[in-house]
Amino acid sequence: MSRRPSVLRKRNPEGRMSLAQHLRELRNRIMIAGGAILAGAVLGWIYYDAIIGRLLKPLKDVAAERGDAGLVNINFGGMTDPFATKITVSLFVGVILTSPVWLLQIWGFIVPGLTKKEKRIARLFALAAVPLFLAGCYAAFVMVPKAVGVLLDFTPTGAYNLQEGTAYLNFVLKFILAFGFAFLLPVFLVALNLAGVLPARTMLKAWRPAVMVIFVFAAVMTPTPDAYTMVVLAMPMVILFFGSVGLAFFFDRRRERNQPDWLDVPDDQASAL
């Protein structure tokens, strides 16, 4: 009678997966995430007209304010641009709708070697990643009209704003996704802490460069020249960063309490070794 190979037999004596097994796991998770995104993109394709109408609303609002003073709309320069734009928007919708699936796949690949208790906590944080990502996307969606309005205010009097359709939509979609991924910062920091890669003390010592990197990231990702938009993106990221540091300290202390006494080696003996 043939026996199905168990997961434990596939691991080496130390219980770790080989490089080939990691690559196979990565391939499988990418296929699952990609299949889910494609399934969500089908819905984006079906409801494309309603979605594109919402994405073009900032331009329509500016056009309504100007009246006859200037034309504001999008323009497709090539015959294939409308088709390519519909595919792009559909995939964008797929990424948003299936965020629970691909976020869980990313999390499962980052922290595979946790204990049962840590895995239960990890699932909670994986579930927390979904509302954080969606909250970031929603915050960006709310700010897009202001960003578009500020940028179009630089148009000289009497000039028209005929935006290239693909470029405009890429700008809006990247803006929304940038906010969504920015709000995932604490989730990945906690994941690295649970995996034993990033201790809480290291995170706290690096708070100054971390805050600086956050503000630089916010300045690069916000297309408007005003500081208000940059601060709106940066401040939640700073708060989430320090929140993740606090959680990392909690997990580090819990890990130290559960550590066996024989692993506590005095400093003088450790230096002698």
Give the per-residue pLDDT at 8.
Answer: 39
Q: What is the pLDDT of residues 67-122, one digit of tens each?
A: 655 567 788 877 888 898 899 999 999 999 998 888 888 777 766 666 666 666 66
Of 163, 161, 107, 162, whose CA–CA distance to 133 is shortest?
107
Q: What is the pLDDT of residues 188-211, one digit of tens each?
A: 788 778 767 788 888 888 889 888
Give the per-residue pLDDT at 1.
Answer: 45
Conformational region of residue 158, where left means phi above 0, alpha means psi within -120 to 50, and beta covers everything else: left
Give the per-residue pLDDT at 5.
Answer: 43
Low-confidence residues of the chain, pLDDT below 50? 1-15, 262-263, 265, 267, 270-271
> CA 259 to CA 253: how far, in whole Å?
10
> In degrees, to the nearest 5, what angle opens at C-alpha 135 toward C-alphas 130 and 139?
155
Which amino acid is located at 47 in the chain? Y
What's the whole-model pTM score? 0.70
Q: Identify the bridge partners of residue 75 per DSSP, sorted by sequence position.
A: 164
Give the per-residue pLDDT at 45.
Answer: 94
Give the per-residue pLDDT at 151.
Answer: 77
> For residue 64, with 0-12 CB atoms within 10 Å meaning exposed, 13-18 middle and 19 or more buried, which class applies?
exposed
Would you kindly state where each structural domain of the chain is located, as residue ranges? 17-258
The CA–CA distances, whole Å, from 26 to 5, 22, 97 equal 20, 6, 22
Containing 119, the helix (H) or strand (E) segment is helix 116-152
Give the per-residue pLDDT at 260.
Answer: 56
DSSP string, 255-267: HHHTS-GGG---H
Those residues whose C-beta lies under 8 Å from the C-beta of residue 35, and which sit 6 or more positions away, are: none
> CA 213 to CA 215: how far, in whole Å?
5
